[in-house]
Amino acid sequence: MKVPMKWLKEYTEINLPASEYADKMVMAGNGVEGIDNTGDLFDKVVVGHVLSCEGIEGTHLHLCMVDVGQAEPIQIVCGAPNVAAGAWVCAALDGAHLPGGVKIKKGKLRGYVSNGMLCSGPELDVPAGLYPHCGEEGIILLNEEYKPGTDVKEVFHLGDDVIDFEVLANRPDCLSVWGLARESAAVLDTHCVMPEISVEEAQGVGTFDDWAKVEVQDDELCPRYCARVIKNVKIGPSPMWMREYLYGAGVRPINNIVDITNFIMLETGHPMHAFDLSKVRDHTIVVRRAHEGEPLTTLDGKEYTLTGDMLVIADAERATGLAGIMGGEESEIVEGTTDVLFECATFDRTNNRLTSRALGIRTESSGRFEKGVCVRTTMEALDRACMLVNMLECGDVVPGAFDYYPNPLNPQVIDADVDRINRRIACHLTATEMEDILERLGFEVEVSGSELSCTVPEWRMDFETDADISEEVLRLYGYDKIPSTLMTGVTMAGHRSEKQALLDIVKNSLVSMGYYEALNFSFISPKWIAALNLPEGDPRRNFVTIRNPLGEDTSVMRTTLVPSMLNTLALNINRGNPEGRLFEAAPVFAVGKTETTAATETPSLCLGLYGDKADFYALRDAVICLLGQFGIKPAVTAGGDGYYHPGRKAVLTVGDTEIAQVGEIHPDIAEAFDIDGRVYVAEVNLSLIPALARPIPAVQPLPRFPAVTRDIALVMDEAVEVGPVMDAIAKAGGKLIEEVHLFDIYRGEKLGQDKKSVAFALSFRAADRTLTDAEIAAAMDKILAACREGFGAELRS
């Protein structure tokens, strides 16, 4: 809300520079976005009187001698067709700055010295509405005589500070000059005087009922509707002071009637509408819900189809406007308008908001109704408009008014307790001090002991409980006076949640293994899920969909972290980062409502790896090492999702529970994600860890007897997996075997095709004796037998 300081000062006293004033307002909760000065547009532009003006032969230029208030007239070359001797003009002098970074310098045009420039409206960025001649062709011709050399800003009434207030959502009353004047007076602890409203009704023009009829059919959506009629309207420009205020507030001046409605909206916060009464069929205004499917053409020429939930302003025949949102084209105020009906009403906030949203129309008026317009002061605002009609002498106010207000609101009274407020705001104010603050804000306060009975001022709509009173007291007393205290009461043990503690271990382990943490958006493109080639019916295809996403790329909640990781790997590869180790720990989402949760959220972990040193085993072992941090020792089995390389993927299980998958990404999938080269990805279901985690067991005594080691090399088919062989060796070795260590795999012609020799170092030990050769030999025989039977393995000769 932009407010010229001068306008505020009409109603209250502000004896501070704008910036100091703004600071005080900010610290009382009235945010300020910025301070502008309407005079910052240009400088060194003065009133000039053209003494002589001669055409320069062969050009469209004129050589002018202009009195700019200096000792001698100055010579200016001017190309405008409307320049003439005797004209009063705006002369930009040597060194003047104009809007758009233009700088005026003394120079020569066609050999003639020019000491400045005579300016047009656009050159000074002054809108046509602000000064009558600004928008016309050619240079601005001032319509009065001034002292030559007078700063043009004085002529246009520029130079006022304009404060751009950032009004909080609960303070719609401050979306008005009066509201902010009251607020200023309270903050600065000074007086605030509103104009006394009195309308001079004309004689001999009948009464309201002679000229118009209003019918409100819905008191729920339209709690109040006030109207008045103005006859014998003379449309013309509004006076300079009004234009100046509107311009300062960022509203383009148009004509006196339209300017009055805008002025009232800015001054009182009440949006108004003016109808050309002659265009209203049967001079009848009907406020009703639209018929289902009813068509409407708005002021801006757009066509809409309405629903029965929308409130319209209709005439005897059809809907002509959307209540509180936009008027109709037909009854617009035009040059020849002579009879005007002023509407000042309040409409239901929610309904207004829903209609404006449904149709996609947002106007200054709809924005105000959404935030809340004070129902009590509606008639007052309308009368203020008529008062301005009197003041501007632009029409006759017809006696009588229409005021539909079936359920008048009673004044709101809130009881508050001084001690309770003090406890809440950590202050020690007396009842009198609180009373004083509240009265500055317009409350009527009755004090009895420590009880305050506060009557809320009629313009305030944001009070519900005594907590609101406490805020008002603290706000004016000063947030800067809040003491810094320490909480008392029960001591509480602070700690991280179990989930965070687990994530800390996961993340720190991965970081020490050289992995970097990534963060990706939780929503992804459904195409990414499709690209994984998951089978029909896979639960990961059943994602939660966002109804109003920013775009398709971010429209579904991810059911797996893999696609985001692939995207991250692709980005890094394509940006030339030679190797990458990344992880992301985040929830994945699935459809599944319960009474307390709206979807299923499962903490997940994804690892991604690429580069020269990357291979399947590096990633698999990172996962195994990570799980080892929780005492989980998973079994590794070939297999896994279809987006992995068919021969390079594994499932990690504990008992029957799958906890992770790891593998090289299938080249087709890699290609779909714009990845050239091999990348490795693992996904771990973190939600399983707490249940599977094993605490560190009780300590075993250190061995007192030596271990015996034996190496064994077994020749087996290439297709035989080594992992199960090692498990079989450990099993066959029984209690005596302590460790099975793979140390070599050899392939060679001597072994035959599709054969490999796998060499293990075995370590045997007993807790109570040194093992004998015979015991070892027996164990080795068993081991060999098991490998022969189970895997067709033979001792390498």
Partner 1 sequence: MQDQLKSIREHVAEELKNIQDSNALEQLRVRVLGKKGELTAILRGMGKLPAEERPKMGQIVNETREKLESAIDEAAAALRQREKEFRLKRETIDVTLPGKTREAGSLHPMNIVLDDLLDIFTGMGFEAVEGPEIEYDHYNFELLNLPKNHPARDAQDTFYVDDNVVLRTHTSPVQARIMTTRKPPIRIVSPGRVYRADEVDATHSPVFHQIEGLVIDENISIGDLKGTLDTFAERLYGKGIATRFRPSFFPFTEPSAEVDLTCAACGGKGCRTCKGTGWIEVLGAGMVNPKVLDMCGIDSKKYSGFAFGMGIERLTILKYNVPDMRYLYENDLRFLKQFR
Residue pair 139/118 in contact (Cβ under 8 Å)? The answer is yes
Point out which span in 72-80, 284-292, 517-525, 527-535 binds partner 1 (CB under 8 A): 517-525
Instruction: Name the residue nearer to partner 1 (CB basis): 108 or 575.
Output: 575
When binding is defined by CB under 8 A, the residue of 204, 410, 495, 535 that contacts partner 1 is 495
Residue 404 CA to residue 225 CA, distance in Å, equals 5
Nearest distance from C-beta of residue 781 to partner 1, angstroms: 42
When binding is defined by CB under 8 A, the residue of 301, 575, 691, 773 that contacts partner 1 is 575
Nearest distance from C-beta of residue 341 to partner 1, angstroms: 29
When binding is defined by CB under 8 A, the residue of 113, 193, 334, 550 that contacts partner 1 is 550
Q: What is the 8-class DSSP label of residue 686?
A: G
Three-state DSSP class for residue 161: strand
Residue type, 751: L
In the chain, what is the straight-line distance between the N-terminal and C-terminal CA atoms, in Å?
94
What residues contact residue 635 under an 8 Å CB cut-off, 6+ apart? Answer: 652, 653, 654
Point out which span in 9-17, 22-30, 288-296, 753-761 binds partner 1 (CB under 8 A): 22-30
For 52, 317, 585, the CA distances from 87, given in Å and listed in that order, are 9, 53, 76
User: Could you say whether residue 700 binds partner 1 (CB under 8 A)?
Assistant: no
Residue 638 CA to residue 616 CA, distance in Å, equals 12
According to CB under 8 A, which residues from 635 to 654 bind partner 1? Answer: none
According to CB under 8 A, which residues from 219 to 258 bind partner 1? Answer: none
Nearest distance from C-beta of residue 556 to partner 1, angstroms: 10
Q: What is the 8-class DSSP label of residue 151?
A: B
Point out which span in 208-216, 330-338, 472-480, 787-795 binds partner 1 (CB under 8 A): 472-480
Strand pairing of 102-103 and 107-109?
A: unpaired
Residue pair 112/77 in contact (Cβ under 8 Å)? The answer is yes
Instruction: Name the residue nearer to partner 1 (CB basis): 89 or 524.
Output: 524
According to CB under 8 A, which residues from 407 to 426 bind partner 1? Answer: 423-426
User: Could you say whether residue 795 binds partner 1 (CB under 8 A)?
Assistant: no
When binding is defined by CB under 8 A, the residue of 10, 330, 601, 621 that contacts partner 1 is 601
In the β-sheet with 161-166, what is the strand arrangement from edge to edge? 2-4, 161-166, 31-37
According to CB under 8 A, which residues from 323 to 362 bind partner 1? Answer: 349-350, 353-354
User: Could you say whether residue 430 binds partner 1 (CB under 8 A)?
Assistant: no
CB crowding 521-546: b at 16 or more within 10 Å, else e: ebbbbeebbebbebeeeeebeebbee
According to CB under 8 A, which residues from 364 to 403 bind partner 1? Answer: 370-371
When binding is defined by CB under 8 A, the residue of 203, 448, 497, 753 that contacts partner 1 is 497
Residue pair 2/8 in contact (Cβ under 8 Å)? The answer is no
When binding is defined by CB under 8 A, the residue of 58, 335, 487, 698 that contacts partner 1 is 487
Point out which span in 20-28, 41-49, 111-119, 631-639 binds partner 1 (CB under 8 A): 20-28
Nearest distance from C-beta of residue 580 to partner 1, angstroms: 6
Nearest distance from C-beta of residue 36 to partner 1, angstroms: 16
Q: Is the dihedral of CA 342, 344, 345, 351 positive or negative?
A: positive
790 class by beta-carbon count within 10 Å (0-12 exposed, 13-18 middle, 19+ buried): middle
Instruction: Name the residue nearer to partner 1 (CB basis): 592 or 724.
Output: 592
For 376, 395, 529, the CA distances from 200, given in Å and listed in that order, are 22, 11, 73
Instruction: Name the residue nearer to partner 1 (CB basis): 510 or 627.
Output: 510
Nearest distance from C-beta of residue 530 to partner 1, angstroms: 20
User: Could you say whether residue 437 binds partner 1 (CB under 8 A)?
Assistant: no
User: Could you say whether residue 464 binds partner 1 (CB under 8 A)?
Assistant: yes
Nearest distance from C-beta of residue 576 to partner 1, angstroms: 9
When binding is defined by CB under 8 A, the residue of 548, 700, 753, 797 that contacts partner 1 is 548
According to CB under 8 A, which residues from 151 to 190 bind partner 1? Answer: 168-171
Point out which span in 107-115, 482-490, 681-689, 767-775 binds partner 1 (CB under 8 A): 482-490
10 Å Cβ neighbour count for 482? 12
Nearest distance from C-beta of residue 241 to partner 1, angstroms: 33
User: Could you say whether residue 701 binds partner 1 (CB under 8 A)?
Assistant: no
691: left (phi over 0), alpha (psi -120 to 50) or beta: alpha
For 67, 260, 336, 394, the CA distances from 255, given in Å and listed in that order, are 33, 8, 12, 10
When binding is defined by CB under 8 A, the residue of 554, 629, 637, 687 that contacts partner 1 is 554
Q: Which residues pair with 350 in a beta bridge?
A: none
Nearest distance from C-beta of residue 591 to partner 1, angstroms: 9
User: Could you say whether residue 553 binds partner 1 (CB under 8 A)?
Assistant: no
User: Could you say whether residue 625 binds partner 1 (CB under 8 A)?
Assistant: no
Backbone angles phi, psi at 536, to 5 degrees: -55, 140
Structure tokens at 314: 């209709």
Among residues 40, 91, 38, the alpha carbon closest in space to that of 69 is found at 91
User: Could you say whether residue 587 binds partner 1 (CB under 8 A)?
Assistant: yes
User: Could you say whether residue 708 binds partner 1 (CB under 8 A)?
Assistant: no
10 Å Cβ neighbour count for 472? 25
10 Å Cβ neighbour count for 378? 23
Which positions from 555 to 574 touch partner 1 by CB under 8 A, shown as an x/- string?
--x----------x--xx--
Among residues 257, 227, 260, 269, the alpha carbon closest in space to that of 242 is found at 260
Backbone angles phi, psi at 105, to 5 degrees: -130, 145
Instruction: Name the residue nearer to partner 1 (CB basis): 472 or 664.
Output: 472
Residue 721 CA to residue 716 CA, distance in Å, equals 10
User: Could you say whether residue 428 binds partner 1 (CB under 8 A)?
Assistant: no
Complete DSSP assignment for 655-683:
TTEEEEEEEEEPHHHHHHTT--S--EEEE
Number of residues binding to partner 1, judged by CB under 8 A: 88
User: Could you say whether residue 774 binds partner 1 (CB under 8 A)?
Assistant: no
687 class by beta-carbon count within 10 Å (0-12 exposed, 13-18 middle, 19+ buried): middle
> Residue with structure tokens 């404006």?
356
Instruction: Name the residue nearer to partner 1 (CB basis): 382 or 518.
Output: 518
Nearest distance from C-beta of residue 560 to partner 1, angstroms: 16
According to CB under 8 A, which residues from 713 to 752 bind partner 1? Answer: none
Instruction: Name the residue nearer to partner 1 (CB basis): 166 or 711.
Output: 166
Nearest distance from C-beta of residue 28 to partner 1, angstroms: 6
Nearest distance from C-beta of residue 610 to partner 1, angstroms: 11
Instruction: Name the residue nearer to partner 1 (CB basis): 383 or 471.
Output: 471
10 Å Cβ neighbour count for 132? 17
User: Could you say whether residue 514 binds partner 1 (CB under 8 A)?
Assistant: yes
Residue pair 683/604 in contact (Cβ under 8 Å)? The answer is yes
User: Could you say whether residue 24 binds partner 1 (CB under 8 A)?
Assistant: no
State the Cα torsion 776-782-783-788 to the nearest 10°: 150
Nearest distance from C-beta of residue 577 to partner 1, angstroms: 5
When binding is defined by CB under 8 A, the residue of 86, 547, 748, 773 that contacts partner 1 is 547
Point out which span in 277-285, 292-300, 521-529, 714-722 binds partner 1 (CB under 8 A): 521-529
Nearest distance from C-beta of residue 258 to partner 1, angstroms: 27
User: Could you say whether residue 612 binds partner 1 (CB under 8 A)?
Assistant: no
10 Å Cβ neighbour count for 509? 18
Strand pairing of 635-638 and 556-557?
A: unpaired
Point out which span in 253-261, 386-394, 471-479, 716-724 binds partner 1 (CB under 8 A): 471-479
Instruction: Name the residue nearer to partner 1 (CB basis): 678 or 796.
Output: 678
